[in-house]
Chain A
């Protein structure tokens, strides 16, 4: 039905259902509303992402409407954030059943994610700042919602401080930018004539402020602590945080892309993000707590997203941010299954004949080169091609070569090919949807070669280290990675004694 609508109607319908969703979350907060209202609430918050998806599919060009702009990027982000919110809230119905703050979780989740999605729809920078501030504030409240628990309060405090710093810097950067260009509308600020009004030192300083402001929510080194300590939050809150909030950095950099073109700040971002990728991956490798491994992985993935931004590959960064969000939220939500004892773990490891390694390498090379040739003029394409080839090799060995018997191999091959097709198809879809609206920036080939070099070097060092576990170097790196991944001592309580307090207060 909606497909027949005029495209300009989508924004209006979307804003109406968004308002209804917000209202419903507030109605649910009232203790007189029956708990079964939650089912209606879930139905209502399912509407905005559906509208956003329809708008995304039928999108033809951007529309600016008051302080908002609707184009494929903002529709995609709204769809993504609101879908995460929907899934997580659906999950919370049973998961948080019995929690003292049950109703508040839904209200805060709804309002926080709505604020987040509106922030990326904003064309007026004042609205963007307000909404993004509200998102960070909502997230802080969500982390501290178990307010009887000292460690949760401590974590919320840390998050609050770092978020305030990040938001303050972003505000400073934007106000400075608008002061110079005399525009509050994003589309006006980023025109070539506005940009020309910036002195190069101003441009560098503003870029620098932007970069520091975005690396904080992305939990990049040296600001990773808030994400490490916020493992205390309930699982669904972590899912929202890792899926929908940490990737804001990539989005902000994409929105303001013209500002950074050719800026030396890019190199700084590249350096810091590379360090974060290494630290994050290292934390994932040494940690034994499942949720903490996921945190390490998020730090690394966000580092990679910012590297993509630094190289100018904004489309790739957004695709990465979105798919990572869906990936990570699922891993968090199913974090209770890591120890699934019903799954058998029998695994016959066999030595691989050379022919399998050989065919795998050839295949990887072919796929890599083939992918690169689809658009060799893009510098970043090299990085994608390299990583894709690497994945093809590993997947081939693991899925196909290690398969037992004909059945196993065919099954493996089936998964291998199926996975490949889906990967290319999804990328094709997203790429096409985003390509038109995204800033056109020439990606840096030197940067791409550099990143491939780093990845190779680190892989080799890593391999050497795992084979020399008793070396001094391994010990030092190991201990540092453990230290970087551990929570701050204020975030640790040996026994959650707040439960005893609840028990002595409650007991109706």
Chain B
């Protein structure tokens, strides 16, 4: 070990500078994980959000070395894409040439190309098994050359190293302990007996408990008796004890955070929620490293890891035999330079590079197909003036519905982010909690409450309480011993009735229960608090001032590109989903609204746009909304592709006509949209003939693991006029945002689109990507073996990391077949080159994403010329 550094550290340890350092180090280290919020507000997160300053490949290598996680698609996935023709050979070769261009190798280009090509396409026809004696002699020969390759530099935790070296299950033990303590501490399900001293913070509560924990062996427990009072001191003490060289401390902490990124991520999320817990990640690491030190003390110091060079050479020689058609004995006739060049090529052209080239070729194939689809659309006849206009969320599920809607009548549709640019926190009638209904990137600035008259509210609350009391009585009786023993006998008959009904009549039972509930609750008609109200300084203001109302209405209309030619009826459409018995229900809701339905925001915007004073102010700025135009709000139910009205004000006669016309067409539109979507869902279904009933069943059936596909297969984000994509069958894979560069001279609208909606979509895209390529690590595993824990998330099986991404069933068609194609989001901007260049110059973060391969970029200019920027 590097003792001098440790000594220095020790000296430093007496000063206060160190505290400063350790918090800094923890903060930098936490960039390898992302905050993970409770699953009830499932918000898509890009698991590599803080690593975008590094190229994708570099992050891939690092995760492979520290956590053995591959973030490129596996060979099998790539192979199946290849077989389906989704990866074109020409692009593979193109990407390979580009890679070879960057390598300076002392090897004929055709030899190198041949080798790599065979390796990529896996045509191992010429491969004969090698005789082991030949192989050994060649390897011995090569070893004498004293070749050396760059060493792996990424740090692993000691418990991990120990486990790999001599199979001591310490890592598992440590993870088990961390899972236990974390879930007990983070519990929000209000376990009847909660962890004592929880109020004093994670480290303190743990410190007081751990020396008595019967699950830890006695000698280890003794080690844990004399722990420092403060978490940062404990963390320092553990680092010193483990003798981690100062320069490696950050990486060491990172490796520990990556061991259970979900639990650590939840700690990080909580630390951002309140000042009281702001050091929670430090506390978590203090607990984790103190435990590790106590477990591992007897094994210290650990021997250095020796890399087995001969094994490496053996692999490289075999690779050449397999892919370079090079018999073992031919090595002996090569010069040193030739041997070195060949080995270097084989070493550099490792699995990560191969998978990267194939993935990029796959992405390029998709890009070319998309280009063709958009280019091949039928020439557009001039539409007559639309009867109604609809604004939908950019969500990929809007695309098929919009297409069907446009086919059904003289309707015009727009795409914009589903929170409609409103930075609001919403509070539904009778609720105490409010929901930040905007992308998690932003903070809410206003609060909007749903209100009703005092009398109606009281009535509603009484009814709500009566229903909630059923749950509470169940809970109370469960937690009291004498009644808990009789509880199955009292509730058993009721449960049986429900079970039988739900099993054999899933659709009608689910609908009946919901209907009964709705009829009983009788939610009154409500108003929104849009006018500003006086509130405390430290609370969010309720409602908007007049200027703000105008500002947000204008911004929303400009963002969706609806500033002229208003139809008599404009429908603002939010979207939500409906599924039963699904912990991931909110993952199917609007991602731009923090995992909730965007209906509320739609209603706010429609109401704002109907206000006479807002219209007057907009008119003065050139957005003149005709007097007869009415804004309404609706909700697109993505599970059944239905459009439900949530706000319809008094209609003008023209608007009424449009409204009736829409009502007439809607059921057919739904049916067609559902029918297209249902074909893609796997299932043992007899009910294909009645798509509507089938879709309802999916939403109501308590045994359904795939109520809908959500945003699976999302691949592209198209920013441009609807004319560009109209009548194109985009297969529900595209986020569509309206944008007219002609109305955006200074580029501010594009800037907003890139900063908000594109980032949301990129996070969604990478979450699907990550859940597909590493389903065990970034996904949530199999739905059938999950258990909900602590009221905040799910674990697999008996216990596991707190799982963060999408479940296996949401990205896989079956255990054997993949559904979501792991492609990085392709952003297509319809604008002249200067516009795209300008946004890259202005928005460094976006530029970085493009440069480092976290997103892909293409543009179409006014002549229809397609340019790739990646």
Contact = CB atoms under 8 A, between A and B. Distances in A.
Nearest to B83: A508
B483 A390 contact: yes
Interface string B752-780: 00000000000000000000001111010
Chain B CB within 10 A, most for which of A94, A284, A290, A427: A94
Interface residues of B, number: 128
Contacts of A255: none
Interface string A98-141: 11100000000000000000000000000000000000000000
B184 A407 contact: no
A35 B684 contact: yes
B701 interface: yes
Interface string A268-290: 00000000010001101111111
B728 interface: no
B813 A394 contact: no
B481 interface: yes
B174 to A, nearest CB: 10
Interface in B1-51: 39-41
A506 B815 contact: yes
A428 interface: no
Nearest to A324: B488
Chain A CB within 10 A, most for which of B75, B213, B487, B499: B499
Interface string B562-593: 00000000000000000011110110000000
Contacts of B706: 97
Given A478-B195, A493-B800, A94 B781 contact: no
A425 to B, nearest CB: 9
B164 to A, nearest CB: 15
Given A231-B798, A507-B818, A402 B469 contact: yes
Interface stretch (B266-274, B460-468, B738-746): B460-468
Contact of A505 (B76, B478, B503, B583): B76
Contacts of B815: 98-100, 502, 506
Given A394-B476, A494-B260, A94 B705 contact: yes
A147 interface: no
Contacts of A419: 490-491, 494
A466 B192 contact: yes
A394 B477 contact: yes
Contacts of A408: 462-463, 465-466, 469
A294 to B, nearest CB: 9
A399 to B, nearest CB: 5
B787 A90 contact: no
A290 B789 contact: yes
A415 B470 contact: yes
A227 B788 CA distance: 18
A235 B499 CA distance: 15
Contacts of A499: 775-776, 779, 781-782, 808
A281 B484 CA distance: 9
A475 B212 contact: yes
Interface string B470-499: 101100111111111111111111111011
B462 A405 contact: yes
Interface string B781-810: 111111111110001111111000000110
A498 B430 contact: no
B145 interface: no
A391 B686 contact: no
Nearest to A386: B482
Chain A CB within 10 A, most for which of B79, B214, B433: B214
A379 B125 CA distance: 82
Nearest to B681: A97
Contacts of B156: none
B94 interface: no
Chain A CB within 10 A, most for which of B192, B197, B477: B192
A159 to B, nearest CB: 13
A334 to B, nearest CB: 5
A188 interface: no
Contacts of A10: none
Interface in B177-198: 179-180, 183-184, 187, 189, 191-197
Given A287-B191, A489-B169, A507-B76, 8 more contacts: A38-B684, A87-B503, A326-B499, A403-B465, A404-B461, A426-B493, A486-B799, A500-B776
11 contacts: A39-B684, A87-B500, A99-B815, A231-B787, A322-B492, A324-B489, A326-B495, A327-B495, A479-B209, A492-B800, A495-B800
Interface of B: 39-41, 70, 74-77, 79-80, 169, 172-173, 175-176, 179-180, 183-184, 187, 189, 191-197, 208-209, 212-215, 259-260, 428, 430-433, 458-459, 461-466, 468-470, 472-473, 476-496, 498-500, 503-504, 580-583, 585-586, 682-684, 686, 701-706, 774-777, 779, 781-791, 795-801, 808-809, 812-818
